[in-house]
Chain A
Amino acid sequence: MNTLLEMTGVRKRYGGVQALDGASLTAARGEVHALLGPNGSGKSTLDKTLAGTVVPDSAEIRIDGAAARIRGPRDAHALGVAAVYQQLSIVGDLTVTQNVVLGLEPARRLGFLDHRAARDRAAGALERFTAAFSGRLPLDRPAGSLDPGEQQIVEVAKALAREPRILVLDEATASLHKEQVEVLFDVVRELRAAGVLVVFTSHRLDEVFALCDRATVLRNGRTVGTVELAATDEDELVRLMVGDAPHRVPRPARARAVADPTSSPAAALEVRGLTTDRLRDVGFAVRAGEVLGLGGLQGQGQSELLLALFGAARVTAGEALLDGRPLPLSSPARAARAGVALVPGDRGRQGMFAPRPIQENLSLASMHRRARAKLALSAAAERHAARSMVERLQIKIGSLTDPVSTLSGGNQQKVVIGKWLLDRPRVVLLDDPTKGVDVAAKEEIYAIVRGLADDGAVVILNSSDNRELTELSDRVLVLFEGAVAEELSAEAITESRLVSSALRLAPGESL
């Protein structure tokens, strides 16, 4: 094996989350190497470390046997690494040509641009994909005016124009049509024949088997193994990704009884045909006392669904009924008044006012309930309300007047949840509530979530942690590209089932 790339001991920490914890990747010249793993396993972070857009806390990288220091995209470029990013590096206001040559514009003397050379280079890089643009390359159109698939191709062409010896493709097929994928695969196979290493990340396993030679599997930021794909099947890959997790006992019987369709009459929350620019015709019903999990790969519309129900996304079609009455989806304030609460995914930015006191953070969402004549607040009542919540949720604090930022991640999250509990919500939407929270606090938050459901609230939980979904959910909706792909209930909610359900959709179905 003609090793070209060796990455070992790659570590990267984001706040409280260890994204990479000693990951490694070894790949050869003239190889298409897949990088696989479930949500949060660190694939994208490893890709970005190689491409230079993420600077790792520590890493040893050798390219062609020589130690490499990659501290930015320009270092990576000097080493012959080019990347196609999942979140594209397209500048929408620049034309397609300008995007393809961006950063490496051909210039005459003194840095004045050579427009003809730029056009030639862009046309050369895009020529292969002419069919994808209905026969005419939009070289002079602003890249932002292209559809997502076309933009993705411009991104690929930009990487190809850099003539890399290592090409990183991070979910490069996500918004491509089938024919566009075929052309891309032909190009990748040509690159392989020319001795280029292609690192390929995709959530479509059939693509991985069709294109790649070997696969390295990541789990929780660590590399668990590298396999020859010719000698492996999908089950083996899923087993590597999930690990031999012990079977967990899901929620206790009492809550389950409520979820039993025979014992509970009308649905408390019913969603019909909900559509936004990232959701397609989502419909489901949840009973009071039920925990509905949202699973699937991250970014398939789970957060958007919660935002839509909270009135914070632009809903273009569909409706939601709470006990048969339409739920206002036009603004968070109206949704909250109707009894909906959202614990957002980005706690720091959207869930709390970090430098403000704990008491203020807790009482904020429910002040109208205690205000006399909707105007005057009593300091004692505010303090009493906040203290009751601190006791009920066992939030570990020094003083109610301390800034909420002084608390640990788990206790901050309890404050965010407590803020809404004071408003006595009937629908609680939780967006990855235990992200960056330590194990002990996780269990406490689980207890709070179960308690909410037992008290008769409708709970919808999005989680990137499949184990969390198996522990808390009565049912799980697996989302894929903005639509409900599968509904799992009771015994079907297992980690391996969640992973395979999220991964094994044929690309044809998604379009």
Chain B
Amino acid sequence: MNAPPKNRAWPREIRLPGAQLSGAATVAMLVVAVVVNTALQPNFWSSYALTSNFATFVPLVAIAVGQTFVVLSGGLDLSLGAQVTLASVVAVQIVDERLDRVPLAVAAALGVGLACGALNGLVVALLRLQPIVATFATSFVFSGLALVVLPTPGGSVPLEVTTAYRDAVLGVPTALLAILVLAVLWWVLRRHRVLRHIYAVGGDADAAYASLVPVVRTRVWAYVLGGVFAAFSALAILANTGSGDPFVGNELTLASVAAVVIGGTALAGGRGGAGGSILGAMVLALVTNIVFFADVPTTYRQLVNGVVIILALALAGIPALQKRRPAA
């Protein structure tokens, strides 16, 4: 019995857009953002401004790298922001201003990310719920838990941590080093079998299954990696702000998706990488900066941010639209 041919006019299932931005487009956006920022913020290149800018970039960069694993596997994690919140409030409650408890707090944050990722992975891969719906639901579980752990903003981090984070090592801002560490982590993981399998499952899950790839386990790994990098994001937030906030991760979720798309990873999965996501996260962070220094009234900031994200996403869709047009 021959299987019916795959039909392009009527897809078997609705898939997320396969479009992706080229690396050149990502870099171009970054250059434009830097130039505009330089024009609006006169001391942009001063070491103080650079250090402070990078310090605010790290949380978004980390969560964007985490989202990259999930998107590459063909999924989407809308609970990453809530995971950041949960990991940060747990860590801030544990550390309780004591320097000797920092290792324990870091371990706890990573444990929270790992556990949340594993839960998401099991729900999506084993119970086969739609990733968008499943992770949207678990996001409420994680935010709810965060409110139980820390009902109102509070708690604080040892001063040594925040000072070190805003300092520089041999003239290089600590926060920039953190971004480099994230990039190196990605570079190392890229050479691991799990990442190869994530690409294969995101590219064509049926083919991967027939090719002996453990599809369920691979999907779970993608969400676990997402959770671990959400924990890194949480730690960076604590180091930057010095205190806990049970709502801190809310806006990071969609920003992480946007950063992944701007960074050239296809939402359909299988194509792209975290290198682009890191640049994409910086573009978004710079846009927030620009909106601030352009004296956009506070009430309009969210609107402007939203429009910029939509424009970036639309840019990624243009090549696909051109391909879809009939030749004749």
Contact = CB atoms under 8 A, between A and B. Distances in A.
Contacts of B8: 313-314
Interface in B235-271: 270-271
Contact of A43 (B1, B4, B192, B328): B1
A475 B3 CA distance: 25
Contacts of B1: 19, 39-45, 298
With most chain B CB atoms within 10 A of its CB, the pick from A86, A105, A110, A317 is A105
Contacts of A77: 212
Given A42-B1, A91-B200, A345-B4, A102 B212 contact: yes
B196 A113 contact: yes
Interface size class of B (residues with CB under 8 A): 20 to 34
Interface stretch (A254-262, A299-307, A369-377): A299-307
Contacts of A98: 196, 200
| Among A19, A89, A90, A278: residue with most chain B CB under 10 A | A89
B15 interface: no
Contacts of B5: 278, 299, 303-304
A44 B271 contact: no
B170 interface: no
A91 B193 contact: no
Nearest to A312: B9
A346 interface: yes
Contact of A314 (B191, B211, B327): B327
Contact of B200 (A45, A87, A102): A102
Contact of B193 (A113, A304, A345): A113
A316 B270 contact: no
Contacts of B209: 53, 72-73
B199 interface: yes
Interface string B209-239: 1111110000000000000000000000000
A99 B204 CA distance: 12
Q: Which of B7, B193, B196, B212 has the most CB of A within 10 A?
A: B212
B171 interface: no
B42 interface: no
B46 interface: no
B207 interface: yes
A89 B210 contact: yes
A349 interface: yes
A92 to B, nearest CB: 7
B299 interface: no
Most buried by A among B1, B3, B12, B194: B1
Contacts of A447: none
Contacts of A105: 193, 196
A299 B4 contact: yes
Interface in A460-505: none
B155 interface: no
Nearest to A40: B1
A203 B269 CA distance: 35
Contact of A312 (B4, B10, B193, B200): B10
Nearest to B207: A89
A94 interface: yes
B116 to A, nearest CB: 23
B326 interface: yes
Interface in A277-311: 278, 297-299, 303-304, 307
Nearest to A311: B9
Contacts of B214: 74
A113 B193 CA distance: 6
Interface size class of A (residues with CB under 8 A): 35 or more
A74, A314, A345 pick with most chain B CB within 10 angstroms: A314
B265 to A, nearest CB: 12
B140 to A, nearest CB: 27
A111 B194 CA distance: 8
A299 B207 contact: no
B208 A93 contact: no
Contacts of B3: 44, 86-87, 299
A103 interface: yes
A94 B200 contact: yes
B322 interface: no
A220 to B, nearest CB: 10
B160 interface: no
Contact of A307 (B6, B7, B196, B211): B7
A330 interface: yes
Q: Which of A51, A113, A303 has the most CB of B within 10 A?
A: A113
A315 interface: yes
A72 B327 CA distance: 42
Nearest to A435: B4
Contacts of A102: 196, 200, 208, 211-213
Nearest to B214: A74
Contacts of B12: 349
A112 B195 CA distance: 10
A393 interface: no
A104 B193 CA distance: 9
B196 A87 contact: no
Contacts of A86: 2-3
B211 A93 contact: no
A9 to B, nearest CB: 18
A316 B193 contact: no
Contacts of B193: 105, 107, 111-113
Interface string A161-194: 0000000000100000000000000000000000
Interface centre among B191, B211, B212, B326 (most CB of A within 10 A): B211
A158 interface: yes
B2 A93 contact: no
A53 B4 contact: no
Nearest to B193: A111
Given A94-B196, A303-B7, A307-B9, 4 more contacts: A98-B196, A112-B193, A278-B5, A299-B5
The 9 closest A-B pairs by CB, nearest first: A103-B212, A89-B210, A298-B2, A89-B207, A91-B203, A93-B203, A312-B9, A102-B211, A103-B211
Interface of A: 19, 39-45, 51, 53, 72-74, 77, 83, 85-94, 98-99, 102-105, 107, 110-113, 158, 171, 278, 297-299, 303-304, 307, 312-317, 330, 344-346, 349-350
Interface of B: 1-10, 12, 191-194, 196, 199-200, 203-204, 206-214, 270-271, 326-328
